[in-house]
């Protein structure tokens, strides 16, 4: 007599859905959003394809939900904690260090999935492109606002261009994440941290270069 086939579970309840979406983000971070499918997620989680399809409705909906989750987690773990710092210069430094640490903590999960999504969907049209761009633009705006506040408070030089400085900072952290993943070496996060400390320190009149 054949044993009854094991019934695969379906995502039910907030905790189960949270675990599923975290698994989806891990796939996106390591393999890319294009690799994220209902079938792939079912294999990763041990849940049924039918149950996952019932919950998400389509592959694109799964991808969009994953982007939304990644963006919200970034806000909660990087942006909101830095906003609790009342001193503008300290707020900017905390924002930078929290961002690097966020990527560092997620080293084994491919780093920041939104960073990977930037490259993957830079030239693609569609809803996924728009949602990733919106998340990245939100970070850019937050950086510019933090830099402007630090400048207005006298924490950094008065001739700093917030848009230019935000661009440079964004490029450094994104590139550090890419190199860390490519070389499987987290030392690049330390290089980004060194850049931030040197530039923010010197901009603020702290630890000036000889």
Q: Using CA atoms of 130, 132, 133, 139 in order, give the dihedral in degrees to the nearest 10.
A: 140
| SS3 (DSSP) at 124 | coil
* Rounded-to-integer distance, Cα 134 and Cα 140, Å: 10
Report DSSP state, residue 9. B
| SS3 (DSSP) at 112 | coil
Q: How high is the pLDDT of residue 16? A: 79
DSSP labels, 66-92: HHHHHHHHHIIIIIHHHHT--SHHHHH
Q: Are 95 and 82 in contact (CB under 8 A)?
A: yes
The separation between CA 23 and the C-alpha centre of its own chain, rounded to angstroms, equals: 15
Q: How high is the pLDDT of residue 115? A: 87
Which CATH architecture does the domain made up of 67-203 adopt?
Orthogonal Bundle (1.10)
Which burial class, exposed, middle or buried, applies to 84 when counting CB atoms under 10 A from its CB (0-12, 13-18, 19+)?
Answer: exposed
Instruction: List average pLDDT for each run of 10 residues in the chain, which is 210 residues long.
Output: 44 72 94 94 93 92 95 93 92 93 91 89 94 93 94 91 94 94 94 90 44
Q: How high is the pLDDT of residue 208? A: 37
The alpha-helical segments, DSSP class H, found in the chain are: 13-31, 38-45, 49-56, 59-74, 80-83, 88-105, 113-120, 127-152, 162-183, 187-203
Which burial class, exposed, middle or buried, applies to 176 when counting CB atoms under 10 A from its CB (0-12, 13-18, 19+)?
Answer: buried
The residue extents of the domains of the chain are: 67-203
Q: How high is the pLDDT of residue 14? A: 62
Q: How high is the pLDDT of residue 116? A: 87
* Rounded-to-integer distance, Cα 116 and Cα 66, Å: 13
* Rounded-to-integer distance, Cα 95 and Cα 196, Å: 11
The encoded tokens of residue 208 equal 């000036």
Terminal Cα-to-Cα distance of the chain (whole angstroms): 81
The encoded tokens of residue 180 equal 């860390």
Q: How high is the pLDDT of residue 32? A: 93
């Amino acid at each position: 007599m054949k044993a009854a086939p094991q019934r695969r579970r379906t995502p039910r309840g907030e905790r189960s859905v949270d675990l599923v979406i975290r698994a989806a983000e891990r796939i996106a971070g390591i393999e890319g959003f294009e690799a994220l499918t209902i079938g792939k997620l079912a294999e990763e989680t041990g849940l049924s394809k039918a149950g996952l399809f019932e919950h998400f409705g389509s592959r694109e909906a799964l991808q969009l939900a994953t982007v939304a989750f990644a963006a919200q987690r970034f806000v909660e773990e990087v942006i909101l904690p830095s906003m609790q710092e009342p001193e503008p210069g300290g707020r900017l430094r905390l924002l930078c260090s929290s961002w690097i640490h966020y990527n560092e903590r997620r080293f084994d999960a491919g780093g920041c999935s939104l960073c990977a999504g930037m490259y993957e969907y830079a030239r693609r049209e569609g809803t996924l492109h728009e949602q990733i761009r919106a998340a990245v633009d939100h970070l850019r705006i937050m950086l510019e606002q933090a830099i402007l506040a630090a400048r207005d408070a006298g924490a950094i030089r008065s001739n700093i261009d917030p848009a230019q400085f935000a661009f440079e900072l964004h490029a450094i952290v994104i590139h550090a994440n890419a190199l860390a993943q490519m070389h499987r070496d987290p030392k690049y996060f330390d290089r980004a941290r060194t850049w931030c400390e040197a530039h923010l320190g010197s901009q603020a009149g702290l630890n000036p270069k000889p």
